[in-house]
Structure 1
Amino acid sequence: MADYRKGDTASWDAEQVRRSQAGEPGHHHSGGQTRRKRRRHVNPMLYILFVLLTSAILAGVGWLLITDLCAFNKDLKTVTVQITSEDTMGTIATKLKNADLIEYKWFFKLFASVANADEKIGIGTYELNTDMDYRALIMGMRNSSGNMSADTVRVTIPEGYTVAQTIALLAKNGVNTEEALTEAAQTGDFGYEYIDSSSEDISRLEGYLFPDTYEFYINHNAKDALGKLISNFDNKLNEDDLAAAEAKGYDLQDVITIASLIEKETDGTDQKKIASVIYNRLEGAGDKGGTYGLLQIDASLLYAIPDHEGAITNADKQVDSKYNLYKYAGLPPTPIANPGLAAIEAALNPESTDYYYYALGKDGKHHFSTTLKEHNAFLNSDQYAGN
């Protein structure tokens, strides 16, 4: 019998198990053969096709993004985009997308983050076009007064405010100083042919500072602040109505001047009737109205004497001013206030009447008359507000 120790058999058995599990050559599992792993080979043609297809897709996507980034292959189109303090880069991208200025909002936002667009874009209303690439769009929305994170103020300009009142209101709300705004009104070049560039009186802007609600930066550039109001006015103009007015001999200043008279003479309920009286007097001088082209509108006279208090007197009606429409026939030299859209529309589309006179009744409404006799009868009645 061979000589061995007790643990030798156990070691030998354990070693055999390990070899069996490791699949050593020469050792066979009981009841079967060792399985060989089969290597799978990729079809070279399919691999090449996959690479080419992936490259084509990436190249196509890349070209689309570059086309959008550089504004290639776009039909020329000019649009107006308004940016407010509530906008984010996401909402700005949406506005640009909706205006057909960009295609891929996510790509514009990515570019904007790299270009620090939030430090450049400011609140305001901007004219942009489809020829602008991403960089040009961002620079086109740049505001010299501040960026989207700057402090802002919202100001509502009431209908019928004069230039002087508008400037005072803007100054009160911290848009800029009254002195800076006044200087801008006197000397600023706003780029509109209907603004008299030869004058340095603030009245040259009268009628063109559209009454609306605006958002400004604190310490906004004075010229740009007034320019926002003028730009809004320009966007409200109806070219077809203006062409019809010009065909009757009234240019833009005439129309806005008439609208300003309407604005100051009515509470808004009878603007088109007031307009008809003004046109009847302008066009029917010496006829049955007997007004000889004199509009006789108190609001225009008060524009010439702004510090006046109380009712208009006969002495007031002798003031030698072109705004005194008791003394001078026709329209005043400029609008007397900044009219709202309803007054402008009334000036462009007056009601057709035979009225030459109107006066305020105790019921708070204007009463219209065709002849001076009818008008005087009303003034002497207990219905007239002045009695």
Structure 2
Amino acid sequence: MRLFRRLVSLLLLLAVLAGAGLAWVALAPVGLSTSPLDFQVQPGSSARSAARQMADAGVDVPPWLFEALVRASRSAASLKAGSYEVERGITLWELLQKLTRGDVSQAELAIIEGWNFRQLREKLNAQPDLRHDSQGLTDREILQRIGAAEAHPEGLFFPDTYLFSKQSSDLDLLARAYRAMQKRLAAEWAARDPNLPLQHPYQALILASIVEKETGKAADRPHIAAVFVNRLRQGMLLQTDPTVIYGMGPRFDGNLRRADLLADTPYNTYTRPGLPPTPIALPGQAALQAALHPSSSPALYFVARGDGSSHFSNSLEAHNQAVNKYQRGGR
């Protein structure tokens, strides 16, 4: 009986010493190969596999020690996958808290108004902090992966600056931008001016993309939208150069010629009536608002003044005079 008590006491002492030793190690700074240091914890990682991933990245922590601390703190179910950044001086306990909070490192990507989808894909592919899951996929396959019902990707992604966890999927970022556009478009469509010659939100998105590409100064957007709305109401051709340029694709060399205006494509609004079949760019919030809340201007024409602004005319005669003045140097 006395031997049994001694054995129990010894075991208790060893447990106390082990706990004290673990606590001492947990509060000591861990070694890092560089500072700051980035590492990834993959989804579904156990405590041991998370420790191995950290060790492989340059965090000097034996996997068994990290696993012991996780077990002692009952944190196994709380470890969160993601990209993390740590600096010299961090303790093992602070490292564990970082992983249980999901205190991931973030990067950002700006999606700019007026970009087309090709430019957006190029920007995604050039972002080193993203995982490029979209590479090798067709545009249609990308839309399927992000749950989009549309068949064409143009104009579907809301321009904004997006924060993301480093090495997260570019498809996740695209899905967020897609949902943001759907939300903004739905809100603007619900509050649209009455009697617009638009049958559904997608047409509003197409019109907004044209307004985006035609606008040099923000104050002109509602008036440019009014010109196109007035033309649609009267059955006039939209005759907007950006749609022609979009339809030309890579053939456009920066110089739009008369022959290009006469060459029929689905996007040539000089040869085909109504809106083009899809958006031609990413419209921002202001362009969406202008398309669905155009000014009350009766103008049917506009021409660039050369300073970024536009001159608006109600008749072809007045428009020709404005063209002669602002583009041909006439007096």
Asked whether the equivalents of residues 361 and 385 of structure 1 are also in contact (C-alpha less than 8 Å), the reply is no
150-159 vs 324-333, which moves further: 150-159
Q: Cα–Cα, structure 1 residues 227 and 163, in superposed 2: closer, same or farther, change >3 Å?
A: same
Equivalences for residues 4-43 of structure 1 within 5 A: none
Equivalences for residues 54-65 of structure 1 within 5 A: none
Rounded to whole Å, the distance in 1 between the matches of 2:192 and 2:78 is 44
Q: Which amino acid aligns with 1:274?
A: I
Q: Cα–Cα, structure 1 residues 363 and 188, in superposed 2: closer, same or farther, change >3 Å?
A: closer
254-263 vs 208-217, which moves further: 208-217
Instruction: Determine the structure 2 residue equivalent to 1:159.
Output: 113
Asked whether the equivalents of residues 160 and 337 of structure 1 are also in contact (C-alpha less than 8 Å), the reply is yes
Instruction: Determine the structure 2 residue equivalent to 1:220.
Output: 168
Consecutive unaligned residues of structure 2, counting only runs of 5 or more, are 1-72, 85-100
Instruction: Determine the structure 1 residue equivalent to 2:213.
Output: 264
Asked whether the equivalents of residues 155 and 215 of structure 1 are also in contact (C-alpha less than 8 Å), the reply is yes
- TM-score, normalised by the number of residues in structure 2: 0.64
Q: Once the two structures are aligned, what percentage of the paired residues are identical?
A: 30
Task: Kindly indicate whether residue 147 of structure 2 is the aligned counterpart of residue 191 of structure 1.
Answer: yes
Aligned length, in residue pairs: 237
Consecutive unaligned residues of structure 1, counting only runs of 5 or more, are 1-111, 124-146, 286-292
Greater RCO, 1 or 2 (C-alpha within 8 Å, sep 6+): 2
**Which structure has greater helix proportion?**
2
Asked whether the equivalents of residues 322 and 328 of structure 1 are also in contact (C-alpha less than 8 Å), the reply is yes
Instruction: Determine the structure 2 residue equivalent to 1:295.
Output: 238
Asked whether the equivalents of residues 295 and 329 of structure 1 are also in contact (C-alpha less than 8 Å), the reply is yes
Q: Which amino acid aligns with 2:78?
A: A
Asked whether the equivalents of residues 215 and 221 of structure 2 are also in contact (C-alpha less than 8 Å), the reply is yes
Q: Which amino acid aligns with 2:323?
A: L
Rounded to whole Å, the distance in 1 between the matches of 2:195 and 2:234 is 18
Instruction: Determine the structure 2 residue equivalent to 1:347.
Output: 291
Instruction: Determine the structure 2 residue equivalent to 1:242.
Output: 190
Q: Which amino acid aligns with 1:260?
A: S
Match of 2:226 among 276, 280, 285: 276
Rounded to whole Å, the distance in 1 between the matches of 2:268 and 2:77 is 56
Task: Kindly indicate whether residue 274 of structure 2 is the aligned counterpart of residue 335 of structure 1.
Answer: no
Instruction: Determine the structure 1 residue equivalent to 2:36.
Output: none
Q: Which amino acid aligns with 2:122?
A: A
Rounded to whole Å, the distance in 1 between the matches of 2:247 and 2:181 is 24
Asked whether the equivalents of residues 360 and 367 of structure 1 are also in contact (C-alpha less than 8 Å), the reply is yes
TM-fit CA distance, 1:184: 6.0
Q: Cα–Cα, structure 1 residues 184 and 264, in superposed 2: closer, same or farther, change >3 Å?
A: closer
Asked whether the equivalents of residues 204 and 292 of structure 2 are also in contact (C-alpha less than 8 Å), the reply is yes
Instruction: Determine the structure 2 residue equivalent to 1:318.
Output: 262
Q: Cα–Cα, structure 1 residues 297 and 282, in superposed 2: closer, same or farther, change >3 Å?
A: same
Higher gyration radius (CA): 1
Asked whether the equivalents of residues 82 and 168 of structure 2 are also in contact (C-alpha less than 8 Å), the reply is no
Asked whether the equivalents of residues 167 and 182 of structure 1 are also in contact (C-alpha less than 8 Å), the reply is no
Equivalences for residues 135-150 of structure 1 within 5 A: 148=102
